[in-house]
Amino acid sequence: MFIVGRKLFDKIHKRKMHSHHNHEIHFMAREMDWLPKGIESLADGSYEPRCLKRYYFSDEMVDQLHISDRIFQHILLRILKPTFKYVMNQNCYHLDGPTGVKNATQKIREVLQKEQPKYFIRADIKSFYKSIPHHKLIQDIKKYYDDQKLIGMLENIIKNPIDSPYGYKNPDHGIALRGPLSQFLSGIYLKPLDDAFNQADVTYLRYQDDILILCKTNRQLNRCKRRMMNVLQERQLRLSKRKTRIGKIESGFHFLGIAYPPTRTVDNTSTTPVNNGVITEPTQAQNLNKWGVLLIKHRRLRILFRIREHCAKHANKSNGWSPMVSLARRSNAILLDGYAGG
C-alpha cells in the first residue's frame, strides 16, 4: 500500500509542481511521515479524514478533499474493488472505470440492433450526490459488508464535516462529488434500483445518476416507470424534469453524451422536372410563381407582383405584341431583380 500511495502522491505532485511556493503539496513532499502513518491507520481501522473544504463558485459549490485524504481513499477503493463483482449490479457501468461509457454504448447498440425495442425512459436524478441521506447509506453498507473496521472508516468518510466560509457544518445529507469513493457510494445507494430490474424483460443501464430503460411494449414502459418512481421515492430521490425523457425510440434519444438517431425514415427529397431523361433545376421564375406569395415580404415587391399578374391576365387576351405584354415583361424583370436582391 505504501508503494501505491507513493505513486499517487508523485502523480499529484508532478501536476502541481508549478503551484505557489507556499502550497501544501511542497511541504508534504519534504516530509513524508504522513504517508506511512495514514496507511497504518487504514490497516487498523482508525482512519479519520480531515474536514472537507467547501468553495463557492458562480455556477456550483465544490467540496474538496485534502490531498492526503484523496490518496488514502484511493487506496481504500483499491481494497474494495475485488468485492464489486459480488456486491454491485452488473448494469451499473460507471464502476467499470474509463471503459464504462464504451461498454454501455456497445450494450445499447446491440440491443437496438437485435431486440429492436420501441420505447425508452431516459432519466436523470436531480442533485443526486447532494440528496443522499447518510443514515440510509450507512445502513446499506452494513447490509453488504460485515467488517467493522471498514464500516467505521466509511462512516467517518460519509459523515465528514465541512469547513465552509460560513463556519463548520455537519450535514446529514450529501457526499463529496469528486471524491475517490463517490462512485462506490453512489453504486451502493442505488443498488435497490438496479436490482429492481433484474427480472424484468427490459434493458436497464445506469451510469451514476443517468438511467436508461429500453422497453418493447407500452405496457412494459408504464410498469417500469411505476417501479422506478417507487424505488426513488423510497430512496428519497427525485427526477430532474429538464433532463428526463420518455418516448419512442424511432424519434431518437441520447445517453451519456451520445445521440442515437431516429430510426423512422423521413422523405425530405424534392422533385424536379425531367426533360428527356435529364434532370433540370427549376428556374427562378418557376420558384417565384410557386412560392412568391410566401417569400415576398416587402411591400414594393408585393405591389410589383400584383402588377405582373394583372398585366399577364390582359396580355393573354390579345394576339401578338401589345403594350400589356411589354409592361408584363418589364414588371416581371423588376420583380425578379427585387427578389434576387432580397
Q: What does each C-alpha distance from 35 to 3, 30, 67, 70, 215 come to in angstroms?
A: 10, 12, 11, 12, 50
Q: Is residue 269 part of a domain?
A: no
Give 291's contacts (C-beta < 8 A, 6+ positions apart).
Answer: none
Quick one: which of 85, 113, 130, 93 has its CA closest to 256? 93
Q: Is residue 284 part of a domain?
A: no
Quickly tell me which residue has 467517518 as its cell. Answer: 156
Can you read off the three cell numbers belonging to residue 216? 418493447
Q: What does each C-alpha distance from 315 to 135, 246, 319, 331 come to in angstroms?
A: 90, 60, 8, 13
Question: Domain of 199: which CATH number?
Answer: 3.30.70.270
CB contact at 8 A, 246 and 118: no
Can you read off the three cell numbers belonging to residue 259? 445521440
Question: Tell me: the pLDDT tens digits for 271-301?
Answer: 334 344 443 444 555 544 444 444 444 555 6
In eight-state DSSP terms, residue 239 is B
Polymer length in residues for the chain: 342
Give 234's contacts (C-beta < 8 A, 6+ positions apart).
Answer: 192
Question: Tell me: the pLDDT tens digits for 209-237?
Answer: 999 999 999 999 999 999 999 999 999 99
- pLDDT tens, per residue, the chain with 342 residues: 546 655 555 665 566 666 655 566 655 666 676 777 878 888 888 989 989 988 888 878 888 888 888 888 988 998 899 999 899 999 999 988 888 999 999 999 999 999 999 999 999 999 999 999 999 999 999 999 999 999 999 999 999 999 988 888 898 998 888 888 999 999 999 999 999 998 888 999 999 999 999 999 999 999 999 999 999 999 999 999 889 999 999 888 889 888 888 765 444 444 334 344 443 444 555 544 444 444 444 555 667 667 767 666 666 555 544 555 555 555 555 555 554 444
What pLDDT was estimated at residue 234? 95
Exposure string over 67-90, b if 16+ CB within 10 A, otherwise e: bbbbbbbbbbeeeeeeeeeebbbe
DSSP per residue, 292-322: HHHH--SHHHHHHHHHHHHHHHHHTTSSS--
Q: Which residue range is the domain that position 45 belongs to?
A: 32-262
What pLDDT was estimated at residue 109? 92
Please report how the helices 2-15 and 67-80 are oriented relative to each other, as an axis angle in degrees rounded to 10: 140
Q: Is residue 159 part of a domain?
A: yes
Q: How many domains does the structure of the chain reveal?
A: 1
Give 140's contacts (C-beta < 8 A, 6+ positions apart).
Answer: 188, 189, 191
Q: Is residue 286 part of a domain?
A: no
SS3 of residue 77 by DSSP: helix
Q: Is residue 288 part of a domain?
A: no
Q: Is residue 218 part of a domain?
A: yes
Helices (H), the chain: 2-15, 24-30, 34-44, 67-80, 84-87, 100-114, 128-131, 134-144, 148-158, 182-189, 191-196, 218-234, 284-295, 299-315, 323-340
What pLDDT was estimated at residue 3? 60
Q: Is residue 111 part of a domain?
A: yes
Does an H or E element contain 274, and which?
Answer: strand 274-275
- What is the edge-to-edge ordering of all strands in the sheet holding 203-207? 203-207, 210-215, 119-124, 245-248
Quick one: which of 103, 98, 99, 106 has its CA closest to 260? 106
Q: Is residue 289 part of a domain?
A: no
- Predicted TM-score (pTM) of this structure: 0.70
